[in-house]
Amino acid sequence: MIYHQLALNVPLDTLFTYAHPHRLPEGTRVAVPFRGKTVAALVWAADVAAEIDSAKIRPIAQVFDHEPPLDADWRALLQFAARYYHYPLGQAVFAALPQGLREARPVAPPPVAQSFVLSATGLTQAAPKAHHRKQLALWQALQQGALSLPAAKAIHTQAPSLLKQWQQQGWLDAIASPAHGAMPPSPHVLNEEQQAASQAVQAACGGFAPFLLHGITGSGKTEVYFDIMAKVLAAGRQVLFLLPEINLTPQLLARVQQRFPHTRTAVLHSQAAAGARTQDYLRAQSGQAALVVGTRLAVFTPLRQLGLVVVDEEHDSSFKQDSDLRYQARDLAVWRAQQAACPIVLGSATPSLESWHKARHGDYRLLSLGRRAHHAAALPQIVLADVRRQKLDNGFSAQALALLQQNHAQGGMSMVYLNRRGFAPALFCGDCGHTFGCPHCSAKMVLHQQARQLRCHHCDFRQPIPRICPDCGNQDLTAVGHGTQRVEETLRQALPGAAVVRVDRDSTARKQDWAQLYERIDAGAVDVLVGTQMLAKGHDFARLNLVLVLNADGSLYSADFRAPERLFAELMQVAGRAGRADAPGRVLVQTQLPDHAVFQALKAQDYPRFADAELAARQSLGLPPFAFVAAIRADAPSMSEAVAFLRLIIDEQANGFRLPETISQFGPVPMLMARLAGRERAQVFLEGTQRRDLHHSIGLWRQLLRHFETTHRAIRWSIDVDPTDI
């Protein structure tokens, strides 16, 4: 018997030893008996020495040997992720596999995908008459090479019936889809900046090279990715193209299909049907699919011919997973590119400060696109409306209402944008702009109205609510963080006859709601859209030419130090929504702090100015990316239980579990969103400038968490390395 160490989908750090008569290749999927059930497992190491009594080692029940094993690079990636995020290897492995491969059943190889090619007779046929423009385009695409059905549909919606017809006439043959095919020429001639960016990346092919592509919305980043992708695909390598959840729309997929009609594409995201996802995963693994387009989970796709990674909108928060294996797909993507020795392009109009910092330090190469690519599309104009000492009508200034009325009268479409994500109630001085920081650490204080206190959610320092501003003596301090309910009502009154539509999580819970809304908007049936960050990204609305931002200031008082960064990114994105067609858009931002660096940079639409100022502030406060952070979280039916559990571990540290001196420990404190799904959540922060010491400390914490979890059954705990949620 040969012993094998297997990864199982259980919350334990160990691998499990099982026996099999032959040595199995590492990465093979198998089924084994475990706790009275048959479960799936992955061979991690073969031919190992028995660590337990060999009589107790059970045989592997079934070997799925017709499936290709997960390759060494994939296993190294998972090994790294499990170690870096301090998560059990077996659970990490199974989190990275699609549903079909998590089960103790063999999976059928994906059916051979079909494409159509011109037959011998077809090749001698004349093209369809030129007045059928799309029909002609379809025919021309077939002349270039094999076309899959989705690619054909992207060219012409009537493709299914046309292809059938042509096939019946004997002009087409059905064949197995090839991974690679001809690249049609780009629809655009790249401008100089685009050309330079594309060339720089192409010149770096063949080795690891990380690039940050900074370009304002509409500057043609996507065309740059496509240009590089075309070259890499033509060289027979695979491309991994990661997008935020919300950007993976049918429109974008159609754009990819149109651009790469003869390239087999796998689409991997959490909304895809489980069966289809498993098949696309297997196609990518086997090399049948050359291009993988997907959301964060696609970073775990096994790709043996990886030649390029693209992460679009790299700053987007959806690349961070906040449950189970808490990974940052952007960071893992960089790791993968390094492992595969290929370039990676991180693109954004407003890069994450982490990436910008790396670009500033030369760790990433910065590529910039400074102009809108489409000459007709002018930049929107951003205006700051100073609303200090103004009487507001349910949040609206007189200037804002007048603009909305005027725009409606002229037939324009407006958007009222409410920023209220992720900032806790705070106190500030409306006269001088003073905010209340914790005297003991770099966090801002959170307002607890009922307890009449300001509290630090970082170190738990508390103080009574101050009556006067310590800076200017103003006695009228303002609370922010609430009050956006009556916006819609106010609009209906101010704009009688206008179609006002509110978009929030409740009104657009389902996908078809979005589709319906887009249809109404495209049909011109919406005059004013009211909504939150859900509106910032994704779809373009041609008629939208005025955006009003109502309550942006809250972010600047937020206890979440990333709030200004998110605000800036969101407002730039919102601004990019305005006037993408021929008429330039206008953006009006109401603020009490018009001189604040964030708003000044926003007005100038100057991301580098914002990022450099914000990084300087982060540096002086010792915040990421100048420090490394991990959050240890516990949740329980009550806050006191969660806090007591974490405190117990801190007390235990005196007994030989001392943290390294470079590490500071804060808490336990409640999370900003303390209550979730009937449980209350507390956390401890570990912070330091040395990654190695941080990981060592997390390891110590983990031992103690493991030890005490057995006596505290009501507690659930987790570790979040590089958390973005506070």
User: Would you list which residues are annotated within the binding site for Zn(2+)?
Assistant: 429, 432, 438, 441, 456, 459, 469, 472
Q: Quick one: which of 9, 177, 194, 551 contacts ligand ADP (CB under 6 A)?
A: 194
Three-state SS at 373: coil
- If the CB atoms of residues 330 and 562 are measured against Zn ion, the closer one turns out to be 562
Task: Please state the residue numbers annotated as binding site.
Answer: 429, 432, 438, 441, 456, 459, 469, 472
Q: Does residue 684 bind Zn ion (CB under 5 A)?
A: no
Q: Which stretch binds ligand ADP (CB under 6 A): 9-17, 105-113, 187-195, 266-274?
A: 187-195
Binding-site partner at residue 222 among Zn ion, ligand ADP, none, CB < 5 to 8 Å by type: ligand ADP
Q: Does residue 244 bind ligand ADP (CB under 6 A)?
A: no
Q: Quick one: which of 6, 77, 190, 552 contacts ligand ADP (CB under 6 A)?
A: 190
Q: Does residue 221 bind ligand ADP (CB under 6 A)?
A: yes
Q: Does residue 219 bind ligand ADP (CB under 6 A)?
A: yes
Three-state SS at 145: coil
Give CA–CA dist 428/479, Å, rounded.
6
Q: Which stretch binds Zn ion (CB under 5 A): 5-13, 250-258, 304-312, 438-446?
A: 438-446
Three-state SS at 310: strand
Task: Please count the residues of this chain forming the interface with Zn ion, following the rule CB under 5 A.
Answer: 7
Q: Quick one: which of 144, 191, 339, 453 contacts ligand ADP (CB under 6 A)?
A: 191
The length of the chain is 726
**Backbone torsions φ then ψ of 130, nearest 5 degrees:** -65, -15
The conformational region for residue 394 under phi > 0 = left, psi -120 to 50 = alpha, else beta, is left
Binding-site partner at residue 551 among ligand ADP, Zn ion, none, CB < 5 to 8 Å by type: none
Q: Does residue 100 bind ligand ADP (CB under 6 A)?
A: no
Q: Quick one: which of 456, 498, 639, 705 contacts Zn ion (CB under 5 A)?
A: 456
On whether the CB atoms of residues 532 and 419 are closer than 8 A, the answer is: yes
Nearest-Å Rg of the Cα atoms of the chain is: 28
Q: Does residue 719 bind Zn ion (CB under 5 A)?
A: no
Give CA–CA dist 688/704, Å, rounded.
20
Q: Does residue 444 bind Zn ion (CB under 5 A)?
A: no
Binding-site partner at residue 419 among Zn ion, ligand ADP, none, CB < 5 to 8 Å by type: none
Give CA–CA dist 523/518, Å, rounded.
8
Binding-site partner at residue 687 among ligand ADP, Zn ion, none, CB < 5 to 8 Å by type: none
Binding-site partner at residue 438 among Zn ion, ligand ADP, none, CB < 5 to 8 Å by type: Zn ion
Take residue 659 and report the two structure tokens written for it. 């943290």
Closest of 106, 108, 98, 513 to residue 273, by C-alpha: 98
Closest of 355, 244, 349 to residue 299, by C-alpha: 244
Task: Please count the residues of this chain forming the interface with ligand ADP, following the rule CB under 6 A.
Answer: 15
Q: Quick one: which of 22, 133, 440, 692 contacts Zn ion (CB under 5 A)?
A: 440
Q: Does residue 218 bind ligand ADP (CB under 6 A)?
A: yes
Q: Which stretch binds ligand ADP (CB under 6 A): 48-56, 138-146, 220-228, 667-675?
A: 220-228
Binding-site partner at residue 461 among ligand ADP, Zn ion, none, CB < 5 to 8 Å by type: Zn ion
Smallest distance from ligand ADP to CB 577, Å? 11
Using alpha carbons only, give the angle 598, 603, 609 rounded to the nearest 5 degrees. Answer: 50
Q: What is the DSSP letter of 105?
A: S
Smallest distance from ligand ADP to CB 576, Å? 8
- If the CB atoms of residues 102 and 577 are measured against ligand ADP, the closer one turns out to be 577
Q: Does residue 459 bind Zn ion (CB under 5 A)?
A: yes
Q: Does residue 217 bind ligand ADP (CB under 6 A)?
A: yes
Smallest distance from ligand ADP to CB 610, Å? 18
Residue type for 460, please? D
Q: Quick one: which of 441, 479, 613, 648 contacts Zn ion (CB under 5 A)?
A: 441
- If the CB atoms of residues 167 and 435 are measured against Zn ion, the closer one turns out to be 435
Residues 358 to 397 in contact with ligand ADP, rule: CB under 6 A: 373-374
Take residue 90 and report the two structure tokens written for it. 């077996």
- β partners of residue 306: 238
Residue type for 569, please? A
Smallest distance from Zn ion to CB 561, Å? 12
C-alpha distances in Å from residue 122, one per residue of 125, 128, 157 = 5, 11, 21
Peptide bond into 69 cis (omega under 30): no
The three state secondary structure string of 173-184 is EEEECCCCCCCC
- Tell me the CA end-to-end span of the chain in Å, nearest whole number: 50
Sign of CA dihedral 188, 189, 191, 197: positive
On whether the CB atoms of residues 448 and 669 are closer than 8 A, the answer is: no
Residues 598 to 617 in contact with Zn ion, rule: CB under 5 A: none
Q: Does residue 220 bind ligand ADP (CB under 6 A)?
A: yes
Sorted by sequence, the CB contacts under 8 Å of residue 530 that are 6+ apart come out as: 415, 416, 418, 487, 488, 491, 500, 501, 502, 503
On whether the CB atoms of residues 320 and 314 are closer than 8 A, the answer is: no
Binding-site partner at residue 238 among Zn ion, ligand ADP, none, CB < 5 to 8 Å by type: none
Smallest distance from Zn ion to CB 187, Å? 54
Closest of 457, 715, 416 to residue 563, by C-alpha: 457
Q: Which stretch binds ligand ADP (CB under 6 A): 221-229, 277-285, 294-302, 417-425?
A: 221-229
Smallest distance from Zn ion to CB 279, Å? 51
Q: Quick one: which of 28, 222, 533, 605 contacts ligand ADP (CB under 6 A)?
A: 222
Distance of CA 355 to the CA centre of its chain: 14
Take residue 589 and report the two structure tokens written for it. 């931002």
Q: Does residue 188 bind ligand ADP (CB under 6 A)?
A: yes
Residue type for 627, please? A
Residue type for 240, please? L
Q: Quick one: which of 64, 80, 335, 461 contacts Zn ion (CB under 5 A)?
A: 461
Q: Which stretch binds Zn ion (CB under 5 A): 248-256, 458-466, 498-506, 582-590?
A: 458-466
On whether the CB atoms of residues 261 and 154 are closer than 8 A, the answer is: yes
Q: Please report, as ranges, the residues that interact with ligand ADP according to CB under 6 A.
A: 188-191, 194, 215, 217-223, 373-374
Q: Please report, as ranges, the residues that interact with Zn ion according to CB under 5 A.
A: 438, 440-441, 456, 458-459, 461
